[in-house]
Amino acid sequence: MTEKTGRYFVVSDRTYTDDSGIQVRLVYATRTARLLFVIPQVADALRAGRLDVMSPGMLATLREAQVVVPAEQDELAEVLERDRSAARDRSQVDFILLPTSYCNMGCTYCGQEHVRGGLTADHRDRVRARVLRAARLATTRRLRVDWFGSEPMMGYAIIRDLSKDFVRVAGEAGVEYSSQIVTNGYLLNERNLEVLIKECRVGRFYITLDGPPEIHDVHRPLKSGKGSFWKIVRTVRAALDHPDYQDVVFQFRTNVDVHNQDGVARFIELMAELGFTRPNVHFSLDRVRPWSNDVSAIELAAKDFARRELDWLRLMQELGLPFTRLPHTVQRVTCPAVKAASELISGTGKIFSCTDHPLVPRTEETAALGHIGQDDLPVFRPAGEFDGWYDEIAQGRSWCRDCVFLPTCGGSCPKAWHEGNPPCPSYKHNVQGRLDLAAERIGLRPVQAG
């Protein structure tokens, strides 16, 4: 079998060493999301496409990481076919439910329109019936229900009511059940956290904190005008000490724009001081991006953000806050909008494929694929705007066809591409710095040039 070096890997520019004297370079294999530590000669050979100088053991390792592939293999076609088949897969059914369209915050950069009121009783029963029908399908092995907003905790009673049946029926059907919630965190408290985790089986909380208290409370003000930072932080910090919650993940996200960028380092220091250095905590930083609203006055340029982000990530590493240096898993399904067995049901009962569509007035009006009140709704949602995403990549309608990160990124956000805003994740711009961090994490340091 003849082989070639594949197209989906990144080699570190730098060589790293330690007191034992070893010298290594890093190879990030994006088709398998694996990070390999190789001797410099192997890195050089990879860059030169020379397989003849590799040891049999190293060749086997590189083959397994899909850095070395059969000579005739069309890797782009393989990656896209793998993704298409994951997007078509119906063994895992995902629902994203918005129990309400209202939010108790009025964030400075938000493009949502918040209206009071949640699912009506009739709609709620129809949502319940629709999810349960999917759970009972012979093809369903896993059921995931994610609670999403506006602010889903405004509809806590609905979450509790529906989850009870979802968990029970999934159990009866032998279907694995999981759940996540995307919340601003303000309405969480000790009591409802326990219910969410133990009864509703929420296993991951996505919570946004935009800086230390004086910045977060201005960037993400409550509609009442009060601050929220300390209430959110105290509740989650207490939960981290709870012995039953050690497998529950708390993922903090920080949206960065021109207004809060100078507070990010202080935020990181504060979270470390407060003891958020736990393995079930995760931090991520994201650039504020247009969200069907004009954020051009506050948005940071992608490359500027990526440069500053490296300093923040280095600080997190020094202080022991967990974050992702480079993705550990490949992105088989880009996002919910490309997955056939995934749908979002809004607070007004409309069904969408894309999580942004119900939150923006124009698309809330025009992009619905159905309504929960319809008697003729198919078991899986009708096709949406992004179901042909992998064909669009193959046709070169974004940069993704030629991108080394396609297997871990999947094109990030088809909607953003359709709107002409490339949504590339920051690691596309700062991968070399992230490889430095991955090396430094295990005590390696760059070899000084010269």
Partner 1 sequence: MPGDPRDALRAAGLDRLPEAQRMVFEELSPEELRVVGVIQERLNAAMPEVAGQNNTYNTIC
Do the Cβ atoms of 411 and 417 come closer than 8 Å?
A: yes
Pairing type for strands 342-345 and 68-70 reads unpaired
Binding of residue 56 to partner 1 (CB under 8 A):
yes
CA-closest candidate to residue 199, choices 160, 236, 152, 169: 160
Binding of residue 382 to partner 1 (CB under 8 A):
no
CA separation for the pair 30, 77 (Å, rounded)? 15
Taking each helix axis from N to C end, the angle separating 302-319 and 264-273, rounded to the nearest 10 degrees, works out to 20
CA separation for the pair 139, 133 (Å, rounded)? 11
With CB cut-offs between 5 and 8 Å by kind, which of ligand SF4, partner 1, none does residue 291 bind?
partner 1
To which residue do tokens 């049901």 refer?
A: 345
Q: Least CB distance from residue 356 to ligand SF4, whole Å? A: 4
State which residue, 263 or 425, has the beta carbon closest to ligand SF4: 425
Binding of residue 185 to ligand SF4 (CB under 6 A):
no
Among positions 410-429, residues that touch ligand SF4 (CB under 6 A) are 411-416, 423-425, 428
Q: Least CB distance from residue 138 to partner 1, whole Å? A: 28
Q: Least CB distance from residue 206 to partner 1, whole Å? A: 7
Binding of residue 334 to partner 1 (CB under 8 A):
yes
Do the Cβ atoms of 354 and 336 come closer than 8 Å?
A: yes
User: Given CA atoms 299, 212, 252, 436 in this order, what sign does their dihedral have?
Assistant: positive
Q: Least CB distance from residue 224 to ligand SF4, whole Å? A: 29
CA-closest candidate to residue 420, choices 289, 297, 300, 306: 289
3-class SS of residue 48: helix
Binding of residue 406 to ligand SF4 (CB under 6 A):
yes
Those residues with Cβ within 8 angstroms of residue 74's Cβ, 6 or more apart along the chain or in another chain: none
Structure tokens given for 162: 């529906």
Among positions 215-244, residues that touch partner 1 (CB under 8 A) are none
Q: Least CB distance from residue 141 to partner 1, whole Å? A: 20
Instruction: Quote the DSSP letter at residue 34.
Output: E
Structure tokens given for 423: 């949504």
State which residue, 106 or 370, has the beta carbon closest to partner 1: 106
Q: Least CB distance from residue 443 to partner 1, whole Å? A: 6
Binding of residue 180 to partner 1 (CB under 8 A):
yes
Binding of residue 280 to partner 1 (CB under 8 A):
yes
Q: How would you classify residue 181: left for phi > 0, otherwise alpha for psi between -120 and 50, otherwise beta?
A: beta
With CB cut-offs between 5 and 8 Å by kind, which of ligand SF4, partner 1, none does residue 55 bind?
partner 1
Among the residue ranges 71-79, 161-169, 226-234, 315-323, the one whose residues contact partner 1 (CB under 8 A): 315-323
Taking each helix axis from N to C end, the angle separating 427-441 and 302-319, rounded to the nearest 10 degrees, works out to 20
Among positions 330-369, residues that touch ligand SF4 (CB under 6 A) are 335-337, 354-356
Binding footprint of partner 1 on the chain (CB under 8 A): 18, 20, 22, 24, 37-39, 42, 55-58, 60-61, 96, 103, 107, 109-110, 112, 146, 148-151, 180, 182-184, 204, 206, 208, 249, 251, 255, 279-280, 282-284, 286, 288, 291, 320, 322-324, 327-329, 331, 334-336, 355-356, 359, 408-410, 412-413, 415-416, 423, 425, 441-443
